[in-house]
Structure 1
Amino acid sequence: MRKAFVMQLKKGCEAEYQKRHDEIWPALKALLSESGVYDYTIFLERETGKLFAFQHVKGNGGSQSLGSNPIVQKWWAWMSDLMETNPDNSPVSIPLEEVFHMD
């Protein structure tokens, strides 16, 4: 299954966002893999700060279904100064509907 969503980065936070993802926590990476995420890419549109996330997922899980996990909650809190967030520190995330795929 493929999943995609968009998020919003705060202006001027591009380098720090990149740095934190370059140093992604091993526990978070393991949790994502265990939840079925086997390919996860985030793209940045620098002009607007829009983040486009794309995942290949085994099953129906994915990163968006891990919000109750303490590791994810800690990550969200750590990233909340860089992104638009909800009151629980989760990133404001808008799921995208797949309308075309070419194999």
Structure 2
Amino acid sequence: MINSAQVILPIEFIRAELYCQITGESMEAIYSHIRDGNWAAGKHYKRTGQRTLWINIKEAQEWIRKQPHVETVVKASRKASKSEMENDVRACA
């Protein structure tokens, strides 16, 4: 049997189950991207049947590439929290 991660084909869409095996992402995470509106039907994913979900590899990777780096988000959040705390302290003084 060929390891699916080793097969490179010029294809756009792969079954969601294979996408999960290759990337390590869970089906729940995929459903979350869809439910939250982060992934668009026809662009990031496509349903061809009631139980058949396909993922566009290129578009999914592009979406990941555009996401902010978590450390940048955490630092910005901490700065905002620190600034809010300083304002609260000033207001109490």
Task: Answer whether TM exceeds 0.5 for this pair.
Answer: no
Q: Higher RCO, 1 or 2 (CA under 8 Å, sep at least 6)?
A: 1
What TM-score comes out, normalization by structure 1 length? Answer: 0.26
Q: Which has the higher helix share?
A: 2
